[in-house]
Amino acid sequence: MASQVLVAANRGPLSYALSDDGTLSARRGGGGLVSGLSAALAKQPDALWICAALSDADREAVRRGTSEPGVRMLDIDPAVYDGAYNGIANSVLWFTHHHLYDVPREPVFDAAFRRHWDAYVSYNRAFAEALAEEAAEGARVLVQDYHLALVPGQLRELRPDLRIAHFTHTPWASQEFMEMLPEDIRGQLVWGMLGADQLGFHAWRWSVNFIVGSNREDATGIAESSLPSGVPERGVWHYRAAADGRGFERKRFTEVRQYPLGVDADDLRALAHRPVVDDRLAALRAEVAGRRTIVRVDRTELSKNILRGLLAYRELLVTHPEWRERVVHLASAYPSRQDLAVYRAYTDAVRELAAEINEEFGTADWQPVLVSVEDDFARSLAAYRMADVALVNPVRDGMNLVAKEIPVVSEEGCALVLSTGAGAHEELKGDAITVNPYDVTATAEALHEALSMPREERAERTKRLAAAATALPPAAWFEAQLAALAGA
């Protein structure tokens, strides 16, 4: 039966693992997109989620017809998938939007890049075709993230009757970084995005970057656009850009809006109080032995700035030796994108730096840093519950849900050290301790301030942080986009 509401995202709610005896088991995927969308779609029983098979095990699941209700996994040729996901989405678009290039060496746009780009175009087309096939007349389609930036344009050509939205979970690059991309590629990206009726971003800053960067006739062929002068600091803000030519009717408008994704307090608290989390909490408490805790939870992701976080912790132990033996830094990282050499090297560097700190300061009964690189959501939730300080210091991050989750499940109040580079900073800055993510000394001082914060103040701030964090829970975030799309 054709669907009225469809979502397209590279990652589906589950991915499969194949054991030696040939049985398939399903696992929840990591990252903010999956947690937000899964929670939102739990309340949309008729929606269809189209995603890619990410691994051989996923492809095997598709071939065996194993599937979850409401999910269609696309079996895309592995070489095409690799070019699109590793070659373009994660090595070029992710790096561009997060400003991650090591500029004397990167980026390099050569023949290999062009081959990967062709793969990216076909991978996007596979999604556009599946959506065109599954969507009912006039259906609403919500396309997710930088993996699928071309889908709105491609889908509009196939199915002009549909209402199409695109949501970006990452930051949007500043104009200087967008202009690193070859002009024709930049033009295709903006063309793809402007195929949508509505573009959503987590934060005001990212919408502004999109508008400024796409407001360039040379690359995009946008003939008419207007950057409003009095842009409000927060809230929903409409901007209309008209895509002229390039396969669309003249003067079709695209709205740009912000939907800052939050967390669902009831769902998260229920997850955080399952017996398996209680067990992890007891184990962590035994390890920490009554000391204060600085908690961080990330993917093994370059933009999360885990290394500078460790450097700041080391500096704290030097400049404020009174904290030695009295604090433990719990750093959990979910393995992510380990197909890319630069991610493997980064993960190794995190482990090495943590080991150096333990070597330098550790004593017979105190290990200053406990690093865990594993996919253990229950352990992360346990760490959230017991955190005295949360360290969230990404160089750039679309939103960062960890900054919103910790205050919601914190048991005794938790001081939040938060980077200005996180989208969440727009909403949480009033009660967080703000840091420049590159400033290690300032981060060390912020950790000291957070550890020294009086208990009562911590509890008060945590309450207000939790209120801000739950202002737009996933179901409302999703429904707001659907409603705006119906009116588009």
* Binding-site ranges for ligand G6P (CB under 6 A): 11, 30-33, 145, 169-170, 336-337
Query: Phi and psi (nearest 5°) for 299?
Result: -80, 160
Other residues' Cβ atoms within 10 Å of the Cβ of residue 342: 15
Q: Are 313 and 272 in contact (CB under 8 A)?
A: no
Q: How far apart are CB 85 and ligand G6P at their closest, in Å?
A: 7
Please state the closest distance from residue 399 (CB atom) to ligand G6P, in A.
Answer: 8
C-alpha closest to that of 427 among 262, 255, 188? 262
Using alpha carbons only, how large is the chain's radius of gyration in Å? 23
Q: Of all helices (H) and strands (E), which one includes residue 74? A: strand 71-74
Q: Which is nearer to ligand G6P, 30 or 187 (CB)?
A: 30
d(CA 308, CA 444): 10
What minimum distance in Å lies between the beta carbon of 383 and ligand G6P?
Answer: 20
Q: Please, what is the minimum distance in Å from the beta carbon of residue 30 to ligand G6P?
A: 6
* 240-246: Cβ within 8 A, 24+ apart: 241/194, 241/211, 241/214, 241/215, 243/191, 243/194, 243/195, 245/221, 246/153, 246/191, 246/221
**Do β-strands 240-243 and 222-225 pair in parallel, antiparallel, or remain unpaired?**
antiparallel
Nearer to ligand G6P, 152 or 413 (CB): 152
Residues 6+ apart with CB under 8 A from 279: 378
Minimum distance, C-beta of residue 146 to ligand G6P, in the bound complex (Å)? 7
Looking at beta carbons only, is 31 or 221 nearer to ligand G6P?
31
Nearest CB to ligand G6P, comparing residues 397 and 431: 397
- Please state the closest distance from residue 469 (CB atom) to ligand G6P, in A: 17
42 or 442: whose CB is closer to ligand G6P? 42
- Specify the residue, 337 or 461, whose C-beta has the smaller distance to ligand G6P: 337
Shortest distance, CB of residue 255 to ligand G6P, whole angstroms?
21
Q: What is the DSSP letter of 390?
A: E
Give the whole-angstrom CA distance, residue 108 versus residue 104: 10
**Closer residue to ligand G6P, CB minimum distance, 10 or 174:** 10
Q: Closer to ligand G6P at the Cβ: 54 or 295?
A: 54
By C-beta, is 31 or 362 nearer to ligand G6P?
31
Rounded least distance, CB 9 to ligand G6P, Å = 7
> What minimum distance in Å lies between the beta carbon of 207 and ligand G6P?
16
Determine contact, residues 93/146, Cβ cutoff 8 Å: yes
> Which residues make Cβ contacts (< 8 Å) with residue 395, sequence separation at least 6?
98, 99, 100, 303, 305, 419, 421, 437, 438
What are the tokens at 205?
Answer: 């800053």
* Pick 11 or 461: Cβ nearer ligand G6P: 11
Pick 4 or 372: Cβ nearer ligand G6P:
372
Q: Cα(276)–Cα(404) distance, rounded to whole angstroms?
A: 22
φ and ψ at residue 121, rounded to 5 degrees: -65, -45
Smallest separation, CB 28 to ligand G6P (Å):
12
For the purposes of burial, counting CB atoms within 10 Å of the CB of 82, is it exposed (0-12), middle (13-18) or buried (19 or more)? middle
**152 in Cβ contact with 192 (< 8 Å):** yes
As a whole number of angstroms, the distance between CA 208 and CA 204 comes to: 6
Q: Which is nearer to ligand G6P, 145 or 431 (CB)?
A: 145
Q: Which residue is nearest to ligand G6P (CB)?
A: 31
Shortest Å, Cβ 89 to ligand G6P: 8
Q: How far is the CB of 143 from ligand G6P (least distance, A)?
A: 12
* 74, 116, 148, 306 from 128: Cα distances, Å: 11, 18, 9, 36
Q: How far is CA 381 from CA 89, 293, 333, 387, in A?
A: 29, 14, 13, 10
Q: Which of 410, 424, 417, 386 is nearest to 460 (CA)?
A: 410
